[in-house]
């Protein structure tokens, strides 16, 4: 099947570039539920979810979205059955290897936030290879949240700031929101404009709690394996139609 061009994707969307979110974050939920509804093992939902990752990543790149952040593995997901975790690690390693050519062709930069040191060494190696290979690219940033928890991120940031104060590198009175932002995993990245959550759940699940303070939230009943370009387009259209006041007044 022929991939649509950037112009075709933009025309289908019907939203001018300046009205699109610059940074989209996604809580990819419902893989297991989708599989169970199909009478399949939960791991098949994760396998099918990779296709949605590929689809959404490529479409965001075509639409000139500056950053896409995907919640791949939360720090709480380690409570899942061992065989499911092993399969998730296999999928992550496979994705890092198999998607490299597409990542390079589409000029995508890959980065990872979270505590990746806790995942298997083989997966870390492939992840680092992809990050280093794509570093010179100048297109969309694809940020993968892996072994990520926002509360852990804040703890790590506070520890770094406290260490800087103790070492005399930072004055306690000078600590402000900018200081905290500079010590988060997402330092140097823009905050999300649009947060998408699939599978109808109305919660943010310890994801980017600081960064989504003013993000527009869009929830769909579609499970992640079902999510495709048309769903992404609808989320962006709805975002473009909202009045973002950031605590102020308009009109």
Which residues is 73 bridged to in the sheet?
146
Topology of the domain covering 17-149+191-240: Undecaprenyl pyrophosphate synthetase (3.40.1180)
As a whole number of angstroms, the distance between CA 66 and CA 77 comes to 28
CA 140 to chain centre: 12
Query: For 138-228, where are the alpha helices, taking DSSP H only?
Result: 150-166, 177-182
CB atoms within 10 A of CB 213: 12
For position 118, what pLDDT does the model report?
A: 86
For position 80, what pLDDT does the model report?
A: 80
Query: For the chain, where are the alpha helices, taking DSSP H only?
Result: 6-13, 31-37, 42-62, 82-98, 100-105, 121-134, 150-166, 177-182, 229-240
For position 251, what pLDDT does the model report?
A: 55
Contacts of 194 by beta carbon, 8 Å cutoff, 6+ apart: 21, 23, 24, 25, 215, 216, 218, 235, 236, 239
Given the residues 29, 147, 193, 231, select the one marked as catalytic: 29
CB atoms within 10 A of CB 94: 14
DSSP state of 211: T
For position 79, what pLDDT does the model report?
A: 75
Tens digit of each residue's pLDDT, the chain (251 residues): 445 444 567 788 999 999 999 999 999 999 999 999 999 999 999 999 999 999 999 999 999 999 999 999 898 777 788 888 899 999 999 999 999 999 999 999 999 999 988 899 999 999 999 999 999 999 999 999 999 999 999 999 999 999 999 999 999 999 999 999 999 999 999 999 999 999 999 999 999 999 999 999 999 999 999 999 999 999 999 999 998 776 665 55
For position 81, what pLDDT does the model report?
A: 83
Query: For 14-98, where are the alpha helices, taking DSSP H only?
Result: 31-37, 42-62, 82-98
Every domain of the chain and the residues it spans: 17-149+191-240
Q: Is 107 a catalytic residue?
A: no
Q: Is 77 a catalytic residue?
A: yes
Given the residues 64, 77, 191, 206, select the one marked as catalytic: 77
3-state percent breakdown (helix, strand, coil) of the chain, nearest 5? 50, 15, 35
For position 22, what pLDDT does the model report?
A: 98
List own/partner pairs for 246-249 with CB under 8 A and 24 or more apart: 246/214, 247/214
Which residues is 216 bridged to in the sheet?
194
């Amino acid at each position: 099947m022929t991939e649509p061009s950037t112009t075709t994707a933009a025309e289908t969307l019907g939203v001018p570039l300046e009205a699109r979110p610059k940074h989209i974050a996604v809580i990819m939920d419902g893989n297991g539920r989708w599989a169970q509804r199909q009478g399949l093992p939960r791991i098949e939902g994760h396998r099918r979810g990779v296709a949605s990752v590929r689809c959404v990543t490529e479409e965001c790149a075509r639409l000139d979205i500056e950053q896409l952040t995907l919640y791949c593995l939360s720090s709480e997901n380690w409570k899942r059955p061992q065989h499911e975790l092993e399969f998730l690690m296999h999928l992550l390693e496979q994705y890092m290897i198999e998607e490299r050519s597409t990542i390079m062709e589409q000029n995508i930069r890959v980065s990872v936030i979270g505590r990746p040191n806790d995942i298997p060494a083989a997966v870390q190696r492939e992840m680092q290879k992809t990050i280093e290979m794509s570093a010179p690219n100048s297109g969309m940033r694809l940020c993968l949240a892996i072994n990520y928890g926002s509360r852990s991120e804040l703890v790590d940031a506070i520890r770094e700031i406290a260490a800087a104060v103790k070492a005399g590198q930072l004055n306690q009175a000078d600590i402000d929101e900018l200081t905290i932002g500079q010590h988060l995993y997402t330092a140097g990245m823009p905050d999300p404009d649009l947060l998408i959550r699939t599978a109808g759940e109305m919660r943010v699940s310890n994801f980017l709690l600081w960064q989504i303070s003013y993000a527009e939230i869009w929830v769909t009943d579609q499970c992640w394996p079902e999510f495709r370009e048309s769903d992404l387009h609808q989320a962006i259209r709805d975002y473009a139609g909202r009045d973002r006041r950031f605590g102020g007044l308009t009109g």
